[in-house]
Amino acid sequence: MLYAYRKLNLSFINKIPLKTFIKKVKIRPLMISSIIILFLTFHRCTEVLIDNSLEPKAGFCLTFDDDYIEDWYSINDMLLLNNVKATFFVSEIYNLSTDQIELLTELKTSGHEIGSHGWNHTNAVEYLNNHTLEEYYRYEIQPAIEYMEGIGLKPESFAYPFGRSSDSLDKFLFQYFNILRHVTVEQLQLSSKEVDEIYYKFNGTRYATGLGIDVNYKISQEMLKKVLIRAKTNDEVVVLFSHRPVDSSPQQYETNKTYLDSLLKLANELNLKSYRFSELLDYK
Ligand SMILES: [Zn+2]
């Protein structure tokens, strides 16, 4: 404004004081409305920031394991339509074709997370019976991290193959991943009692335990509803894992897409937030 005044000062309003100039060119109302707009914008931004970063909200975390890239990609539209961000834990990534890597990258671009499920999909507990941690790292962890980093998919999270983990291994892997996924062994008793460990409680714990929902785990829609309602009631996040989404007749370690669709719809009805696995640590 001062610049404009000085510019004009050189020409036709040589002797007009600044105050009079402001009044004459009606800058004051313009300035006031600009300040109001700026304030409202800032206020809105702050609200959005608070909503996204500080307040944990009841939700669910949907994860998939192994290397069913095309099948994972085939549910991308369904996930996006329901505003769901999933996490895909990929194993034996060196076996994937260029086209499959492209699909995986597209899943990441769509907002999903790509985690590691091991270079060789090794049962860590068995392997460590006759190998050192250092050997395990070089055989199962390091190549996966380096390869994934090389193709722009550096993993922040890891899911144990076969769900086999231990406290000492957790401690070791915290050096390389932000958060680890275990699986519950109480899975099959879910119908008779509540399995507490499948709910993440925003307490900063760097592992979360998943409930299998593939057809062989026999989690009925009704049980699933109970699980989601508990997460809603207690402001927790239930962690679910699956392997391969299929169109019909699911076999072992497969989940019917219609089952997945009703899960997503139910979660939406309950207003549950969908979390990428690593996001669990953002809300403490
Ligand atoms: Zn696996």
Residues facing residue 181 across a β-bridge: 159, 208
- Which run of H or of E encompasses 238? strand 237-242
Residue 90 Cα to ligand 1 midpoint, Å, equals 8
pLDDT in tens, 151-194: 999 999 999 999 999 999 999 999 999 999 999 988 766 666 78
pLDDT in tens, 81-123: 999 999 999 999 999 999 999 999 999 999 999 999 999 999 9
The encoded tokens of residue 262 equal 């009703």
Residue 125 Cα to ligand 1 midpoint, Å, equals 14
Dihedral sign computed on CA atoms, order 33, 37, 38, 40? positive
DSSP 95-157: G--HHHHHHHHHHHHTT-EEEE--SS---HHHHTTSS-HHHHIIIIIHHHHHHHHHTT---SE
Residue 3 Cα to ligand 1 midpoint, Å, equals 66
Question: Are 209 and 239 within 8 A, CB to CB?
Answer: yes
pTM, entire model: 0.81
Residue 157 Cα to ligand 1 midpoint, Å, equals 14
Per-chain mean pLDDT for the chain: 86
The encoded tokens of residue 284 equal 């403490």
Strand 199-200, strand 157-159: pairing: unpaired
pLDDT in tens, 197-252: 999 999 999 999 999 999 999 999 999 999 999 999 999 999 999 999 999 999 99
Residue 117 Cα to ligand 1 midpoint, Å, equals 7
Residue 221 Cα to ligand 1 midpoint, Å, equals 24
Residue 263 Cα to ligand 1 midpoint, Å, equals 22
Answer yes or no: is pLDDT of 1 > 50.
no
Q: Where in the chain is the domain with CATH 3.20.20.370?
A: 56-282
The encoded tokens of residue 166 equal 């231990």
Dihedral sign computed on CA atoms, order 198, 200, 203, 206? positive
Question: Are 100 and 69 within 8 A, CB to CB?
Answer: yes
Residue 230 Cα to ligand 1 midpoint, Å, equals 27
Residue 196 Cα to ligand 1 midpoint, Å, equals 23
pLDDT at res. 13: 41
Residue 41: CB atoms within 10 Å: 10
Determine phi and psi for 198, rounding to 5 degrees.
Answer: -85, 0
Residue 240 Cα to ligand 1 midpoint, Å, equals 14
The encoded tokens of residue 193 equal 């009692």
Name which of 140, 84, 136 is nearest 110 in CA terms.
84
The CATH number of 56-282 is 3.20.20.370
Q: Which residues contact 177 (CB under 8 A, 6 or more apart)?
A: 116, 155, 156, 157, 158
Residue 161 Cα to ligand 1 midpoint, Å, equals 5
Residue 133 Cα to ligand 1 midpoint, Å, equals 20
Counted residue by residue, the chain has a size of: 284
What is the C-alpha to C-alpha distance for residues 245 and 70, in angstroms, rounded to an integer?
A: 10
